[in-house]
């Protein structure tokens, strides 16, 4: 049984391990960035937990204008069972509860597994937009 819950500071090491094993690396994959996220918005990082192990994550961010979903990751041994969909639904519920009317997801285009997951959802790829990043 996998339960969903908000992350706590003591989860940081396990989340970073999950991301190393399950997702493309990001420049913000470190304890300092995760600590900052949890201090700024304690409910933004939602975790899937099974038998005390972190097996999934999603960041559900709300900036007052638009909701954004980041770092949707599922441990390889737990893929294909609907955990990614459950995490996505929890993220949408959280952001929508804050009043977001428009949501977006940041997905690494070169990650075939991630792109396959998003193509199977009812989300559409915004071909007309380009994202620029700094840092």
Segment 55-104, tens digit of pLDDT: 999 999 999 989 999 999 999 999 999 999 999 999 999 999 999 989 99
Has residue 128 been placed in a domain? Answer: no
Residue 78's domain comprises: 3-119
Has residue 76 been placed in a domain? Answer: yes
Has residue 32 been placed in a domain? Answer: yes
- Each residue's pLDDT tens digit, 95-134: 999 999 899 998 888 888 999 999 999 999 988 888 787 7
What pTM was estimated for this model as a whole?
0.91
Has residue 107 been placed in a domain? Answer: yes
Q: Into how many domains does the chain fold?
A: 1
Has residue 135 been placed in a domain? Answer: no
User: What are the residues whose beta carbons fall under 8 Å from the beta carbon of 94, sequence distance 6 or more?
Assistant: 43, 44, 46, 60, 62
Has residue 112 been placed in a domain? Answer: yes
The overall longest dimension of the chain from CA atoms, in Å, is: 43
Has residue 89 been placed in a domain? Answer: yes
Q: Name the β-bridge partners of 49.
A: 3, 54
Rounded Cα gap, residues 131 and 135, in angstroms: 13
Q: Name the β-bridge partners of 56.
A: 48, 74
Has residue 127 been placed in a domain? Answer: no
């Amino acid at each position: 049984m996998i339960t969903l819950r908000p992350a706590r500071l003591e989860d940081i090491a396990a989340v970073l391990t999950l991301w190393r094993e399950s997702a493309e690396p990001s420049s913000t994959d470190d304890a300092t960035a995760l600590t900052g996220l949890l201090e700024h918005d304690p409910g933004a990082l939602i975790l899937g937990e099974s038998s005390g192990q972190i097996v999934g994550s999603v960041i559900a961010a709300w900036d007052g204008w638009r909701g954004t979903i980041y770092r949707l990751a599922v441990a390889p041994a737990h893929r294909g069972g609907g955990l990614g969909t459950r995490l996505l639904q929890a993220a949408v519920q959280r952001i929508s509860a804050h009043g977001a009317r428009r949501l977006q997801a940041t997905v690494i285009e070169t990650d075939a597994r991630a792109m396959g997951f998003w193509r199977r959802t009812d989300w559409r790829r915004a071909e007309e937009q380009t994202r620029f990043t700094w840092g």
